Amino acid sequence: MKRVSQKMIIINYYRSISKLILIAFLAITTFSCSNDDDQPPHTDGISQEIKDLIYFRGDEKAETVMILIPGGPSTEFATDFVDDFASDSNQEGIITVTVHQAQTLNPDIVVGNDITLTQANSFNTESIEMLSEVITYFKDEGRTVYVLGYSFGAFVTQDLIAKKGINSADKYLIISGRLDMNDIIWQAAAEGKKGYFENGVTPVVEPEPDVKERNFNRISAGFAMNKYTQLFNTIEDLSNITYIYGENDEAVGRLTTDEVQFLQSKNTNIISGPGNHTTTFEAFIFQGLEEAFGIVLQ
């Protein structure tokens, strides 16, 4: 495999991946677990307090909420990720949302000077709290909430579950993440270095000259340092998670045998193939949407 120098968690994938999301959602049918007549319409729409934390497209009163957490981290708010889904798909009964993170709400925190891992963890806590607040708002209104996290977004999703509980949202689709990142990779990222995996297995670490990129790496490390097999161990059942991974993922590495066996022991729906970080998404996004959320192509 040709050696490609990459960050531990790819920063710029969400732009290209969002196009694939658009294709995936064209001409789909959403099956809701409840009948529209079972719950009253949300006549007041979304509160301004929540609107300040999100970007959305679709009917504010929709009974199903799809929250997209893109790759990154980045200071750019992932509006394209939502727009590419909503502009042409003309979906009814679903609102598509992305939620601010600390560094999108205040980009200045990652420019100028190197941050510490402690600061990165504080920023990540802020991001999780905002995400949880948005999900709780919609859940309290009786809506169905789905969360799709890709790459960096996969780690954010896992941290949400670890900190706020498996029932925070109704169902999850996690794509190209890791439960237990290799220590050499997250420790290097904590120092601002970049890392990747040759053939999805062998970790490689390189210096990072740009201060903003170093800070992004530290934010990534703040999530990747966690051992989610331990944090999830008290959760009896993870059957509302669909987990997709590639065996040759150069960005985060393939799941280890122990990680796979852990997910199997918790009844997680697992989808895997021989692809890398990008081709895995391309190969399995349609299947993942159907199996995770009951969203199928016509």
What is the mean pLDDT for each group of 10 consecutive residues in the chain (298 residues)?
36 42 38 41 77 94 94 94 66 87 97 96 98 98 97 98 98 98 98 96 96 98 98 98 98 98 98 96 92 76
Q: Going by CATH, does the domain composed of 13-297 fall within 3.40.50.1820?
A: yes
User: Quick one: CA dihedral 61, 175, 203, 223, positive or negative?
Assistant: positive
What secondary structure letter does DSSP report for 254? P
* Six token digits for residue 8: 């531990």
Residue in 73, 78, 81, 79 with CA at minimum distance from that of residue 111: 73
pLDDT of residue 219: 98
Structure tokens at 184: 């050499």
Q: What is the pLDDT of residue 86?
A: 65
Q: Return the domain boundaries, the chain.
A: 13-297
Tokens of 23: 């294709």
What pLDDT, on a 0 to 100 scale, did the predictor assign at position 140? 96
Do 174 and 94 meet the contact criterion of CB atoms below 8 Å apart? no
pLDDT of the residue at 9:
40
Which pLDDT does position 87 carry in this prediction? 58
**pTM for the model:** 0.86
Tokens of 128: 């999780």
Surface-to-core class of residue 116, CB atoms within 10 Å of its CB (0-12 exposed, 13-18 middle, 19+ buried): exposed
Residue 5: per-residue pLDDT:
35
